[in-house]
């Protein structure tokens, strides 16, 4: 086979810093917008922030209307409701997403269906959906994350539950990437410690998984029309991932211990942004694949800091629980990369230079920030391993980004050893 020699890099324009969200009206006017749809969820709407963002746009000649019906962990049905509302109340020439990954992903889907023909399921990744690519450009989308971590403001994907098939899937295309990401650390000050801990583990795993992803030049060469946004570890994504790890080492424990520490909040917002710019091009692998069934098969776990109206394993928590054992498994594929990452995160843990370096660094951190002790601590037991493995195996797009082949028995071993971590 001929080996790949090309990698790609894509990113939104970025505005970062305290007060950055006060300038969105100006930025939209520069993009030529006159009527913007502001998309958010009820909890963020209750803070008044989306209304403030909408009101501020008027002085720049942009009329803004708030839709606050986003569902956390969106489904095809909840996205369709948002699309229907947007179609009935248009026309729009710009979108603004204010909130966590759910709001930003819903805005991506609404934007896609306001500008392109067909139905939502036509664009969902095959084989769940039709796997179509958008044929027309989308409206400008400004993404304003209020939860640190998801990276949704930088990426080309939108994740959703497809209810009829009981599966989580996604839509992925370059045109879905936000036009502008506005990252304002002051918006994260009210985030509870439990949310900061889980979201921070998501940031950390974005950086670690993209840094240890299969290198772009180890795969078969693609034709131009076959290129996907995620091309494997490459020199540019490596740079973002390394810097994100350095920022996390300095700020993560502090941000959880004292949510009012604005310096630590800024450091975490920057780490989230940098990790998003890395994994948004390289991709993520085993811990993220395992997170789908952990979150999807939850029974009655209710984490501190989250609304307790339904059982939930938050995304970042679900990702983190098998991360130590996933990186013990992938160590042999690239020992020097695993040791370098562990050294950036926790030099003491990396000292012995063995496969346990990164697991030790992760476990020490997870204990300090009060994450659950493994998959058993969120309600699973050895009898659940087969179902968890079959759920992870459905995420072939992610598993293909791992630095070595991943078989069902490898995943079973990772889940078994992740029942209790310390």
Where on the chain is the footprint of Zn ion (CB under 5 A)? 202
DSSP state of 322: T
Nearer to Zn ion by Cβ, of 151 and 267: the residue is: 151
- SS3 state at 301: coil
C-alpha separations of 169 from 71, 117, 126, 159 in Å: 16, 20, 9, 6
**Shortest separation between residue 316's beta carbon and Zn ion, angstroms:** 7
Nearer to Zn ion by Cβ, of 12 and 200: the residue is: 200
Instruction: Give residues with Cβ within 8 angstroms of 223, minimum separation 6.
Output: none
Radius of gyration of the chain measured on its C-alpha atoms: 20
Nearer to Zn ion by Cβ, of 38 and 157: the residue is: 157
Nearer to Zn ion by Cβ, of 41 and 202: the residue is: 202
* Strand pairing category for 157-162 and 167-172: antiparallel
Q: In 10 A of CB 84, how many CB atoms?
A: 12
CB 24 within 8 A of CB 144: yes
**Shortest separation between residue 358's beta carbon and Zn ion, angstroms:** 18
Nearer to Zn ion by Cβ, of 116 and 125: the residue is: 125
**Shortest separation between residue 288's beta carbon and Zn ion, angstroms:** 6
Q: In 10 A of CB 227, how many CB atoms?
A: 14
The residue number with the shortest CB distance to Zn ion is 202
Instruction: Give residues with Cβ within 8 angstroms of 6, minimum separation 6.
Output: 216, 221, 222, 227
Nearer to Zn ion by Cβ, of 113 and 388: the residue is: 388
**Shortest separation between residue 145's beta carbon and Zn ion, angstroms:** 13
Nearer to Zn ion by Cβ, of 202 and 410: the residue is: 202
How many CA atoms does the CB half-sphere of 88 hold within 13 Å?
7
**Shortest separation between residue 280's beta carbon and Zn ion, angstroms:** 11
Nearest-angstrom CA–CA distance, 95 and 97: 7
**Shortest separation between residue 278's beta carbon and Zn ion, angstroms:** 12
**Shortest separation between residue 24's beta carbon and Zn ion, angstroms:** 25
Instruction: Give residues with Cβ within 8 angstroms of 54, minimum separation 6.
Output: 36, 38, 64, 65, 66, 96
């Amino acid at each position: 086979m001929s080996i790949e020699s090309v990698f790609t890099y894509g990113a939104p324009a970025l505005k970062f810093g305290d007060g950055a969200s006060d300038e969105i009206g100006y930025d939209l006017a520069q993009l030529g917008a006159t009527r913007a749809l502001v998309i958010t969820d009820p909890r963020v709407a209750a803070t008044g922030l989306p209304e403030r963002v909408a009101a501020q746009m008027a002085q720049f000649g942009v009329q803004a209307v708030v839709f606050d019906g986003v569902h956390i962990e969106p489904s095809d049905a909840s996205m369709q409701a948002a699309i229907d509302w947007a179609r009935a109340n248009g026309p729009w020439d710009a979108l603004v997403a204010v909130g966590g990954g759910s709001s930003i992903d819903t805005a991506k889907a609404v934007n896609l269906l306001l500008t392109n023909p067909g139905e939502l399921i036509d664009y969902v990744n095959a084989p769940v959906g039709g796997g179509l690519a958008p044929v027309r450009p989308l409206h400008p989308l400004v993404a304003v994350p209020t939860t640190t971590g998801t990276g949704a403001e930088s990426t080309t994907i939108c994740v959703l539950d497809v209810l009829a098939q009981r599966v989580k899937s996604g839509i992925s295309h370059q045109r879905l990437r936000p036009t502008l990401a506005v990252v304002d650390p002051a918006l994260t000050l009210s985030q509870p410690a439990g949310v900061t801990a889980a979201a921070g583990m998501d940031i950390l795993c974005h950086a670690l998984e993209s840094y240890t992803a299969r290198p772009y030049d180890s795969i078969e060469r693609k034709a131009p029309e076959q290129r996907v946004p995620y091309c494997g570890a490459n020199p540019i994504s490596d740079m973002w991932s390394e810097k994100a790890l350095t920022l996390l080492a300095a700020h993560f424990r502090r941000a959880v211990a004292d949510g009012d520490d604005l310096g630590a909040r800024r450091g975490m917002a920057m780490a989230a942004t940098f990790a998003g710019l890395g994994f948004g091009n390289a991709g993520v692998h085993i811990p993220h694949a395992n997170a789908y069934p952990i979150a999807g098969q939850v029974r009655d776990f209710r984490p501190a800091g989250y609304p307790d109206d339904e059982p939930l394993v938050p995304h970042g928590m679900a990702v983190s629980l098998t991360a130590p054992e996933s990186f013990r498994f992938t160590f042999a594929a690239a020992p020097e990369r695993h040791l370098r990452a562990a050294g950036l995160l926790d030099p003491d843990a990396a000292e012995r230079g063995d496969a346990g370096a990164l697991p030790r660094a992760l476990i020490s951190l997870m204990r300090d920030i009060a994450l659950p002790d493994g998959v058993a601590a969120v309600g699973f037991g050895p009898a659940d391993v087969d179902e968890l493995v079959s759920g992870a195996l459905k995420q072939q797009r992610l598993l293909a980004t791992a630095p070595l082949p991943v078989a069902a028995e490898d995943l079973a071993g990772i889940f078994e050893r992740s029942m209790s971590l310390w």
